[in-house]
Amino acid sequence: MLKPHTRVLMAIVACLAASFIGTLAAQARPTGYKHYELGDLKAPTPDPVSGGLLLMGGGDRNIDAMKWFFAKAGHGHIVILSAAYGPEIGKEFKREVGGILSAETFVFKTRDAAYDPKVIDALKRADGIFISGGDQSDYVKMWRGTPVADIMDAHVLAGKPLAGTSAGLAILGEMLYGCMDSTSLTSPEGLADPFSARNTIEGDFLHLALLKGVLTDTHFKERDRLGRLFAFLAKAQLGRPADATPLLGLGVDESAALAVEPDGSARIYATEADGGAWLVDGASLRVPNKPGPLEVPRIHVIGIGHQSLLHLPDGKVERPSFDRNYSVSGGKMVLSSDEAVAP
């Protein structure tokens, strides 16, 4: 029989061991994010990797657009960044779309995760990076000014593909609508007071050459967002030098994705016949900062359809699907001219 002091000593040793093991386990767990992986992360990428941007409007993903993106990634390793979704996007990519070696997902919960060595290493070796939808203010708060943003810039500069859908597209332009109050601004609200505090325009996040001078928006036609894009451009150009090129607004419909080649040429993939993108010339939206409704006599908007070819970042469009002018008075938007363009 063990003596009482021996039993006490053994109990102390057991407690210390359990505490040590618990500490190791806690250290092994990722902090500030969840992590999921599918496929062989160590297998060599089978095909050459090339640059490109896939700008997705936020609806059901077009399979041909995803295949374009996966081919750009050499059918290799895709890293998915999110703050709202779990493993389901990775499962969709690996099992339903197919054609890639692995899908690795990081779901961010805190800004600290953007400094985590595992996250940084995965992004550095990614063949393609995909940014999911959600709330873009999460991305602004957790990634701007961190290694995650720096690595995405370097990833594109190195000639690797980057894709974003919904909130993941909203953050890609030189200037962006941050939705910092997490309540999406509507077109009537934006037109009624484009310079209000609710119109949260942000910058100095990502620095992608093909989207320099561009501000993006998503779910475009479906959520009637043309008016708010006018408001975004008006506020984003406050303080912009007079000799600077006007900003462009680029809205993408839910059913559409714009595939941008390294030379800036871009074409539409869409799951619906009328799915496309909208290009707004911000030249006439350089207006004085004053409270009240937007007042602009003419705003030029060009449609990008299935037969169109867009050139970024200059905004030239070959074979546009429409060529329109709008006016805004008293916060109300009116279509003033609509030139039908032959397909």
Q: Model's pTM, two decimal places?
A: 0.90
Contacts of residues 237-243 at CB distance under 8 Å and 24 or more positions apart, as own/partner, are 237/282, 237/285, 237/286, 238/195, 238/289, 240/286
**Residue 89's domain is classified under what CATH number?**
3.40.50.880
Residue 305 and residue 187: Cα distance in Å, rounded? 23
Residue 5 has pLDDT above 90, yes or no: no
* 87 and 225 belong to one structural domain: no
Q: Report how far apart, in Å, the C-alpha atoms of 341 and of each of 255, 266, 309 are.
A: 21, 19, 14
Residue 155 has pLDDT above 80, yes or no: yes
pLDDT in tens, 174-191: 999 999 999 999 999 999
Domain hosting residue 244, numbered range: 178-343
β strands within 135-245, DSSP E: 161-165, 175-177, 201-203, 214-217
* 298 and 243 belong to one structural domain: yes
Please, are residues 280 and 298 in contact by the beta-carbon 8 Å criterion? no
pLDDT in tens, 18-69: 443 333 333 445 579 999 999 999 999 999 999 999 999 999 999 999 999 9
- Among 29-33, 143-147, 205-209, the range scoring the smallest mean pLDDT is 29-33
* 182 and 57 belong to one structural domain: no
pLDDT in tens, 302-327: 999 999 999 999 999 999 999 999 99
* 249 and 342 belong to one structural domain: yes
* 185 and 285 belong to one structural domain: yes
Given 118, 151, 172, the domain boundary residue is 172
What pLDDT sits at residue 16?
39
Residue 101 has pLDDT above 50, yes or no: yes
Q: Report how far apart, in Å, the C-alpha atoms of 320 and of each of 22, 85, 178, 302, 305 are.
A: 62, 35, 29, 7, 7
Percent of the chain whose predicted confidence (pLDDT) is above 90: 88
